Amino acid sequence: MALTLLRGMRTPIVARRDAGLFFTTLQTPLSRFTTRAESAHATEPKAAPKSIQLATKEAAEQKTQGFEAVIGIETHVQLSTVTKAFCSCPYSYGSQPNSTVCPTCMGHPGTLPVLNTKVVECAVKLGLALNCEITMTSKFDRKQYFYPDLPKGYQISQFDIPIAKEGYLDLDLPVEFGGGHRRFGVTRVHMEEDAGKLLHSESGSYSQVDLNRAGVPLLEIVSEPDMRTGIEAAEYGAELQRLVRYLGVSNGNMQEGSLRCDVNVSVRPIGQSKFGTKVEIKNMNSFSAISRAIDYEISRQILLHKEGQADQIVQETRLWDESSQKTFTMRKKEGLADYRYFPEPDLPEVVLTSEYIDEIQKSMPELPEAKRRRYENMGLSMQDVLFLANDDNVARFFDSTLEHGADAKLAANWIMGDIAAYLKNEKLSIDEIKLTPLELSELIASIKNGTISGKIGKEILIELIAKGGTVKSVIEEKDLVQIADPAAIEAMVDQVLADNPKQLEQYRSGKTKLQGFFAGQVMKASKGKANPVLLNKILGEKLKANS
Amino acid sequence: MPPPLQAQRLLLSHRRLPSSHRRRFTAVSSLPSAPAKTVAAGQAPSSILSIRESLLSGERTAAEITADYLSRLRRTEPSVRSFIHVADAAAEREAEELDRRIATEGQDAVGPLAGVLVGVKDNLCTANMPSTGGSRILDGYRPAYDATAVRRLREAGAIVVGKTNLDEFGMGSTTEGSGFQVTTNPWDDSRVPGGSSGGSASAVSARQCVVSLGSDTGGSVRQPASFCGVVGLKPTYGRVSRFGLMAYASSLDVVGCFGSSVVDTATILSVIAGHDKMDSTSSSHDVSDYKSELVPLDLLESKPLNGMRIGIIQETLGEGVETGVISSIKDAASHLEQLGSVVEEVSLPSFSLGLPAYYILALSEASSNLSRYDGIVYRYGRQVSASDLNELYGGSRANGLGHEVKMRILMGTYALSAGYYDAYYKRAQQVRTLVKESFKEALERYDILVSPAAPSAAYKIGEKINDPLAMYAGDIMTVNVNLAGLPALVVPCGFVEGGSTGLPVGLQMIGSPFSEGNLLRLGHIFEQTLQNYSFVPPLLAES
């Protein structure tokens, strides 16, 4: 399942500033279509998946050399609420700098935060989806540090009492990577506000602050250190992305920074219970990059261990560099950062009622894990299950097709086969084509009941995808109803045999594989409409009788 | 029905009686009762009421009233220096506009505070007017918005006459900590007006404006009210929106007000109080028309406080409190007894713990709240040029913030640091809970608690400037009330020796949450029946 990994591979631009390193991503107008198209052809050999597979293989080999990696992830998800967390400013990615700001999100004197209750709703949704315990009374705290993109000099966050804690995330690893079900622990989910952005001049002589993003609501999801390989970590991130998309709390877009993962990696000799020194890696803007960065980091650390230089592994933040496929030191940690957390006095406690939580619980959609289990129980292969369940648009299309009575396996085959291929060629997503789930189910039924052949079915499908309409109208319009009348087929067979005496001669002298030639001629004469089973049966009888 | 209680006589002189001639307060019932009808206004007439009456009767125009105040302001300001910024031209313009509206649209077209000149403490944001918080780091800053309290006053027709001086960001008890100027006490220009709302208190005391807004984090309205001989109200935490108040210690800060009478103070509170969607800590508790609940002097019964139980806080009358202050408060207590209430001493065991707890909590929050003044010029404030970020922050803050503020930021930062948090901040929060509980318990037994507003009367400028601990100790009377979030009213109650004519002393009355109505009613009765004192400073008598 390289499909998730392929999603969102873009080269980051790394800019070096005198004051430190700052990272920004190109604002590529990356369309979802491309990513869908890529995902449709996961098996196509591509550079990236190859390297992932290689890296994973390497990591696996290294594991056998007596070491294991321990990986934990901190994910920041930007919520797609209409307004910011603590003021009524809107936010939209890519707006003119400082165009969606107000005195409150600019931290002007005397301004006060007022909580957007949608943020709490999103947090509870995600908390429930991650099987967390929801905290009935939580609070906000101030996390204090100085930075020009932080207007108040502190970030409103949650410290010791997060809104949700102690949950887990279930996922199925891609079949190409060995498959398998995994459950990763989720330590906590908490609400906080985003900071602004610094824009640096070309010369490096000055920097500008864009506060559009300041105050935009975030959920931070902290995992338990449960992952052991790059692919596990990447799949954890991908599943989290699916969750926030299913729940509608975020667009989960990594390029826009709506979903950001910081990973902590350490290695230790197998059998040792104490964790090794952990290194934080930042600057990965795709799941593929996460996987590669982690696997690189694991090999780096194992190598140091094996060379007796384990003391060279220090607590630090390293950056993933896409061009060299390596991690580099960004800053060494000088002791523990002291953020001087204390309860935010400007905001009352967040008190939830069980009715409120129940109501949210009731409004929750079916989540990917439940979907996968349901598809699995239909007898679909894991390959099919992952393809269908892991994209909410595809899943919705598939489910709708089934609701119209289609057979699950047949519907899966059509979606994963011809439809996926079309989407890839045309760079479209499944909700952008004219084919409706109803017509797909009609198509499947028409083939099953013999109205049309499978071959005709494929032609009709393309017609429906591109132009829309109903299966029935296309069949009628193009006169595509299968000829299943034995007399009519017999007449056509007779005609073909009569028209090809030479071939008939050869057949009779033992060249029996010419039956295929005759069948083709009959099919051609019927414009493809002859029922192939009937045709072969009648043709066989005729040839036998005539020999 | 008992005969209505009358004031003995109206002091027409601005000068207080010489202290040797001052009579200790005697039983009200024993007072001769042959009052002239004209005396009905009582001891402290309402300036707001008289402005309203003259405006509505057409006796005076808003322009004339404004000119009157402005001329007194111009005359007294060189010695008092209450204002960092005087918006005299704007005030005159607004007054003329008011007169035009009264002329064209009638009296109903203007709000209840039409023509009332208000001084606003400079840590309250005012749109298009400088708002510095008394700090050089905000020199030149003009907010785009009015603080909610200011907006509500303006909507009621009040005219903001200027921004009053304060200790930088409210941190101080003398107003000497202003980044701009030192304000003097109208009763004696060698003395401090108190602080941090010293400018707002002195401006009302010197009648440079009718009423003023202040803020009270640990006594910053009540102590200057006491020092300057004016009425000062610290409402319940959350009673008035903090939106637009430059935060010092968010969990303690309240916007308060000053007036030369309880009626004026009550009038202002009704306008500024109430829930504000811009402040999540503001309360939705009902707001009364506090002024209409006050009982006029001529309708008072002879024992108007019959049935009321008043506790005088034992710990506030002991060591470290000036004897003159103690005797003033005791006199006030017997006055309250004369009015029919039962006054008993009550002990608040956690009282002495309040001061250290207050300073830890207030400074911790302050260290955070003041982080935004970081010199990033894009936002506001002063910036020094620097070659890297740390230099930019350090330079701007070193240059823009004053000594006291820097000291408090350092202390607050220390208290919140890893490894110290539990010993300081957390412990102080526990003390805060104790203080709250002990007040709650006492207020179940007594309707009102009373104490001095400060352990001394106004002291000399410079006297405590190099002794911060002595200055902090001066807050002992007031900080507990902030920790408990309770409302408290300070009403002038007497004098101690000092200056040319004596120095005023204020009585602090503390009530249960949202009992401002009770406090104002009691304060009003106290004020109206207090004999022989006039709280108009000599500064005004001299001219």
Instruction: Note whether residue A315 is domain-resident.
Output: yes
pTM value? 0.84
Query: For chain A, what is the radius of gyration of the CA atoms?
Result: 30
Q: Which residues of B touch A18 (CB under 8 A)?
A: 388
Question: Are A52 and A153 found together in one domain?
Answer: yes
Contact at 8 Å (CB) between A184 and A243?
no
Q: Give residue A538's domain range.
A: 486-546
Amino acid at the residue B73: L
Instruction: Note whether residue A361 is domain-resident.
Output: no
Is A151 in CB contact (< 8 Å) with chain B? yes
Which of A285-289, A437-441, B22-26 has the highest average model confidence (pLDDT)? A285-289
Is A18 in CB contact (< 8 Å) with chain B? yes
Beta bridge pairs of residue A167: A186
Question: Are A177 and A282 found together in one domain?
Answer: yes
Total of domains in chain A: 3
Question: Are A311 and A162 found together in one domain?
Answer: yes
Best probe of the B interface among A88, A201, A342, A350, by most B CBs < 10 A, is A342
* Confidence band, pLDDT 50/70/90 cuts, at residue A508: confident
Residue B378 and residue A199: Cα distance in Å, rounded?
Answer: 13
Residue A485 and residue A489: Cα distance in Å, rounded?
Answer: 6
Q: Which structure tokens are listed for B129?
A: 């007017």
Chain A, chain B: beta-carbon pairs less than 8 Å apart = 109
Instruction: Note whether residue A359 is domain-resident.
Output: no
8 Å CB contact of B280 and A144: no
Question: Are A398 and A505 found together in one domain?
Answer: no
Amino acid at the residue A8: G
Cβ partners under 8 Å of residue B228, min gap 6: B185, B186, B187, B193, B194, B198, B201, B202, B204, B205, B458, B504, B537
What DSSP designation does A191 have? E
Instruction: Note whether residue A493 is domain-resident.
Output: yes
What DSSP designation does B274 have? S
Question: Are A167 and A211 found together in one domain?
Answer: yes
Among candidate residues A459, A477, A495, the one where a domain is terminated: A477
Q: What is the pLDDT of residues A35-79, one digit of tens each?
A: 333 333 333 333 344 444 455 555 555 455 788 899 999 999 999
Question: Are A225 and A76 found together in one domain?
Answer: yes
Instruction: Note whether residue A362 is domain-resident.
Output: no
Mean of pLDDT values over A336-363 = 93
Among candidate residues A477, A511, A538, the one where a domain is terminated: A477
Is A207 in CB contact (< 8 Å) with chain B? no
Is A338 in CB contact (< 8 Å) with chain B? yes
Amino acid at the residue B420: Y
Question: Are A382 and A439 found together in one domain?
Answer: yes
Residue B223 and residue B229: Cα distance in Å, rounded?
Answer: 10
Among candidate residues A477, A496, A516, the one where a domain is terminated: A477
The nearest CA of chain B is from the CA of A33 a distance in Å of 40
**What are chain B's domains?**
47-298+321-352+430-541 (3.90.1300.10)
Question: Are A492 and A470 found together in one domain?
Answer: no
Amino acid at the residue B34: A
Q: Which structure tokens are listed for B448?
A: 């009102």
- Average pLDDT of chain A? 82
Q: Which residues of A touch B365 (CB under 8 A)?
A: 342, 345
What is the Cβ-side half-sphere exposure of residue B72, based on CA atoms within 13 angstroms?
22
What DSSP designation does B381 have? S
State the pairing for strand pair A279-282/A316-321.
parallel
Residue B467 and residue B269: Cα distance in Å, rounded?
Answer: 35
Is A142 in CB contact (< 8 Å) with chain B? yes
Question: Are A136 and A245 found together in one domain?
Answer: yes
Quote the pLDDT of residue A546. 60
Instruction: Note whether residue A360 is domain-resident.
Output: no
Question: Are A334 and A372 found together in one domain?
Answer: no
SS3 of residue A435 by DSSP: coil
* Confidence band, pLDDT 50/70/90 cuts, at residue A249: very high
Closest listed residue to residue A23, CA positions, set A427, A328, A471: A328
Which helix H or strand E contains B357, and what residues bound it? Answer: helix B354-369
8 Å CB contact of A346 and B380: no
Torsion of CA B334, B338, B342, B346, to 10 degrees: -10
Instruction: Note whether residue A87 is domain-resident.
Output: yes
8 Å CB contact of B372 and A107: yes
Helices first, then strands: H and E counts in chain B: 16, 11
Give the percent of chain A with pLDDT over 90.
39
Quote the pLDDT of residue A20. 31
Contact at 8 Å (CB) between B362 and B217?
yes
List chain B pLDDT tens, one digit each, 543 residues.
444 333 333 333 333 444 444 433 333 333 333 333 333 345 778 899 899 999 988 899 999 999 999 999 999 999 999 999 999 999 999 999 999 999 999 888 889 999 999 999 999 999 989 999 999 999 989 999 999 999 999 999 999 999 999 999 999 999 999 999 999 999 999 999 999 999 999 999 999 999 999 999 999 999 999 999 999 999 999 999 999 999 999 999 999 999 999 999 999 999 999 999 999 999 999 999 999 999 888 888 889 999 999 999 999 998 889 999 999 999 999 999 999 999 999 999 889 899 999 999 999 999 999 999 988 864 566 677 788 888 888 988 999 999 999 999 999 999 999 889 999 999 999 999 999 999 999 999 999 999 999 999 999 999 988 887 878 888 999 999 999 999 999 999 999 998 888 999 999 999 999 999 999 999 999 999 998 788 999 888 755
Question: Are A401 and A541 found together in one domain?
Answer: no
Q: Which residue has the higher pLDDT, A88 or A66?
A: A88
Contact at 8 Å (CB) between B257 and B212?
yes
Instruction: Note whether residue A170 is domain-resident.
Output: yes
For position A519, which CATH number holds?
1.10.10.410
Helices first, then strands: H and E counts in chain A: 19, 18
CA A51 to chain centre: 19
Nearest residue of B to residue A150, measured between CA atoms: B372
Question: Are A89 and A118 found together in one domain?
Answer: yes
